[in-house]
Amino acid sequence: MSERKKVLITGAAGFLGSHLCDMFVKKDFHVIAMDNLITGRIENIEHLMGLDNFEFCNQDVTKFIDVPGELDYILHFASPASPIDYLKIPIQTLKVGSLGIHNCLGLAKAKKARILIASTSEVYGDPEVHPQTEEYWGHVNPVGPRGVYDEAKRFQEAITMAYHTFHGLETRIIRIFNTYGPRMRLNDGRVLPAFIGQALRGEDLTIFGDGSQTRSFCYVDDLMTGIYSLLMSDYTQPMNIGNPSEISIADFATEIIELTQSDQKVIFKDLPVNDPKQRRPDITKAENILNWSPKVDRSEGLKITYEYFKSLTKDELNETAHYNFDDYITR
């Protein structure tokens, strides 16, 4: 029997990282899950503990990373990813996209491993081109409140490409658009869990702005197949992975009210600074190069996600306080 391929996943206890762990364990890789649990939840990967091809390492990737033995793949998914997170811990967000990726690239170079980095549609900022192709350079305010996340990801892409061109490192760059599914944090400030949480608690749904801004939502299982396809491909330029089915936030609120069969009203508040007005991926490259396209319809994915949120305890559902980051902040 051939030895298992070994993969390191950073941010492994987060929403996307935990689904990556599931996928690679199922594909019979040996998974090293790394997370310092600043925003990740150990509950997301507890079901994998004890398996002979899974190990958890509680570590901050902005510090030196040492993985003994051989290593075949690295997937760098460590980063605060919700606006509330990166507004509360802006410096940590910048560090994980700079020091963190530098450590991962150094490890990949030492181990001769292939590395895939999680970039984001946020590199396009508040786009002036619609839909967004990979060739679009973006419209980002580097010193705005969201700049710490946007620019961390843009730097991450730049240093990854530099390691590829200068050191010949095997690199892959995925630009992830809005993704949803089980294990999303209910109170992380993103529209989908916010709407479902409000509906389940019997609260009115809050729309920021007039609701005309658009998003495109990709179910997490579709994203996982896209990530795996890109990792195993020979394509080294950035690639969009997302669902091009676009909907306005106002229409999305209506869908959630219908899904949850609630009779809540919609209330409107001011739009946050630099919030993107439209977001839809052009996935032509993914379709042509990877033969990938999303398969899960939004109505189907929302039902599964709604069932997950309904399974939360009353305390979890009513938890409105956000994470306390005091232990991670140096003042």
- What's residue 56's pLDDT? 98
pLDDT at 325: 76
**The predicted structure's pLDDT at residue 2:** 67
pTM for the structure as a whole: 0.95
Give 51-119 as a DSSP string.
Answer: -TTEEEEE--TTS-----S---EEEE--S--SHHHHHHSHHHHHHHTTHHHHHHHHHHHHHT-EEEEEE
The domain ranges of the chain are: 6-184+218-244+279-296
Q: Are 48 and 25 in contact (CB under 8 A)?
A: yes
Position 52 scores a pLDDT of: 97
pLDDT for res 274: 62
Q: Residue 220 has what pLDDT?
A: 98
**Residue 35, pLDDT above cutoff 60:** yes
Average pLDDT (3-11) is 97
Are 247 and 255 in contact, with CB atoms under 8 Å apart? Answer: yes
pLDDT in tens, 195-220: 999 999 999 999 999 999 999 999 99
31-40, 81-90, 163-172, 269-278: segment of lowest average pLDDT: 269-278
pLDDT at position 123 over 70: yes
Looking at the chain, the whole-number percentage of residues with pLDDT higher than 70 is 97
149 is catalytic: yes
Confidence at 188, pLDDT banded by 50, 70, 90: confident
What pLDDT does 9 receive?
98
Whole-angstrom distance, CA of residue 62 vs CA of residue 134: 28
pLDDT digits (tens, 9 = 90+) for 220-279: 999 999 999 999 999 999 999 999 999 999 999 999 999 999 888 899 988 777 677 888
Side-chain half-sphere CA neighbours of 151 within 13 A: 14
Distances (CA, A) of 223 to 174, 214, 260: 10, 19, 25
For the chain, what is the mean pLDDT?
A: 93
Place of tokens 């919609």: 266
Domain 6-184+218-244+279-296 has CATH 3.40.50.300: no
Confidence of residue 287 (pLDDT cuts 50, 70, 90): very high
| Per-residue pLDDT at 179 | 96
What backbone torsions phi and psi does residue 77 show, to the nearest 5 degrees? -120, 10
User: Which one of the listed residues 73, 86, 124, 149 is annotated catalytic?
Assistant: 149
